[in-house]
Amino acid sequence: MTLSDVVYVCLGLGALGAAVLPRVVSKRPLSLPMVFLAAGVLIELLPVGVPSVDPVRHRLWVEHATELCVIVSLMGAGLAIDRPFAWRRWSTTWRLLGITMPLTVAVVALLAWGLLDWPPAAALLLGAVLAPTDPVLAGEVRVGEPLDAERDEDEVRFALTSEAGLNDGLAFPFVYAAIALAAAAGTGWSAEWIGSWALTDLLGKCAVGLAVGGGVGWVLGWMFFRARTRALRLSEHMEGFVALGATFMSYGIAEVLHGYGFLAVFVTACVIRAAERSHGYHKVLHEFTEQIERLLTAMLLFLLGGYLVDSALSALTWAGAFVGVLVLLVVRPLTGWLAQARTAVAKKERAVVTLFGIRGIGSLFYLSYALGQDSFGGLERELWAVVALTVVISVVLHGVMATPAIGYLDRRRDQAELAGRS
């Protein structure tokens, strides 16, 4: 038996597991990410010789694998949202983006600077990396498939899905700020970079991402549903792989034009969804992206489990672990609750939104990308240790809590509807 034989066995079992497990764990306090993470840990502990991925040595591979997983997930999340775009109807989303996210960046950066004694650039990077919620691992708390029952897009599911879809792109300005700060620290402290950063990384690239996303979404929506030539009217052919074409086109054009591709992909998906809101083709596109996302997630979580056992824990300190726990149990709940103050969202629903600030594949991408631009004072392994542990805790904690929490809210909603009819 060769090493390649073992790898093929793992790949086969992973693909079958990605198809079977979601149905097996759907009513249990478990999740597919939890199972594959545990499998990665177990395989690494067994004497089978499966190679592990070191994100420092294999940084470029990790960057592109996580990048692919995130953009596919963003397309699926945007296609699933039934709620039409409106400033007031999306008010919870804007609050989470405008209040929770920047506050999380600032608080986590202060924790890393004060408790870990990291330089400001590395501390800011940790805040930027751990601030965005994740569209990949939030499957249990996301909205249902397009055209599913109305209960599958309640305020909790909608808020978490739309937040994850947008803040995975809006985290980039903070990552770039950390990179610029690291460069300034290496050449002598200076604040000259702030003006360029605000104009280019904060405003310019966001504007390009939004414009490309809207433009590509409009063109594809017209082509899918209203093109006069039947060969172009792809909604009549019901081919799901077209979702990948839309994803790659939107992402690639935005990146070529120096905009934020993550933002463009989610906006593209939302605009395509709005082009013909009740058409069954959206479900076909969403199901295809979900299948691809599931396979990629299974692979990445399996590798993360192996990395955790192989080398991540050796670089982790108690202070670093404490910061990771604080992010999930204190920082996100407090900033999330603050963002929803004085809103019409019920307290129990508000509590679920604040607690489910899931960290995942997006954080791994941002960290690998940033470390390709600067070494951040040689803290690569310490950064990876804190981020990897935070993601692992999030996978386990939110995986256990998701089904009971969402089930409880659904039962309360059903009881309220029955009481209203009687």
Is 331 within 8 Å of 108 (Cβ atoms)? yes
Coil, strand or helix at 344 = coil
- pLDDT higher than 80, residue 48: no
User: What does the pLDDT look like over 369-414, one tens digit per residue?
Assistant: 999 999 898 899 999 999 999 999 999 888 888 778 777 777 777 6
More reliable by pLDDT, 345 or 390: 390
Q: Of 151-155, 162-166, 267-271, 307-311, which gets the smallest average pLDDT?
A: 151-155
Which residue pairs, CB below 8 angstroms and at least 24 apart, start in 255-261? 257/208, 257/212, 258/204, 258/205, 258/208, 259/204, 259/205, 259/206, 259/207, 259/208, 259/209, 259/211, 259/212, 260/169, 260/170, 260/172, 260/205, 260/206, 260/208, 260/209, 261/71, 261/169, 261/209
pLDDT value of residue 259? 95
| Rounded-to-integer distance, Cα 369 and Cα 371, Å | 6
Q: What share of the chain is helix, strand, coil (3-state, %, to 5)?
A: 75, 0, 25
Residue 9 has pLDDT above 60, yes or no: yes
Across 258-343, the runs of DSSP E, i.e. the strands, are none
Put residue 73 in one of left, alpha, beta given phi > 0 → left and psi -120 to 50 → alpha.
Answer: alpha
* pLDDT above 70: residue 24: no
Mean pLDDT of the 98-121 span? 95
Contact 337, 116 (CB under 8 A): no
CA–CA separation, 106 and 123 (whole Å)? 9
Q: Which residues contact 319 (CB under 8 A, 6 or more apart)?
A: 115, 116
**What average pLDDT is seen over the chain?**
85
The pLDDT of residue 184 is 82
For residues 29 and 31, give the distance between their C-alpha atoms in angstroms, rounded to a whole number.
7
Winning range, highest mean pLDDT, from 42-46, 309-313, 324-328: 324-328
| C-alpha–C-alpha distance, residues 371 and 378, integer Å | 10
pLDDT confidence bin for 249, thresholds 50/70/90? very high
% residues pLDDT > 70 (the chain): 87
Taking the C-alpha atoms of residue 54 and residue 226, their distance in angstroms, rounded to an integer, is 48
Question: Could you tell me the two tokens for 44?
Answer: 């690494």
pLDDT at 20 over 80: no
Q: How confident is the model at residue 7 (pLDDT cuts 50, 70, 90)?
A: low
For the cut 50, the answer to whether the pLDDT of residue 1 exceeds it is: no
Distance between CA atoms of residues 57 and 201, nearest Å: 28
pLDDT at site 189: 61
pLDDT at residue 52, as a whole number: 76
Structure tokens at 322: 């404490």
- Segment 309-323 mean pLDDT: 88
Question: How many Å apart are CA 123 and CA 387, to the nearest integer?
Answer: 12
pLDDT at 136 over 80: no
Name which residue leads in pLDDT, 345 or 271: 271
All residues at 6 or more sequence positions from 236 whose CB lies less than 8 Å from its CB, including other chains: 230
pLDDT, position 139: 62
58: DSSP letter: T
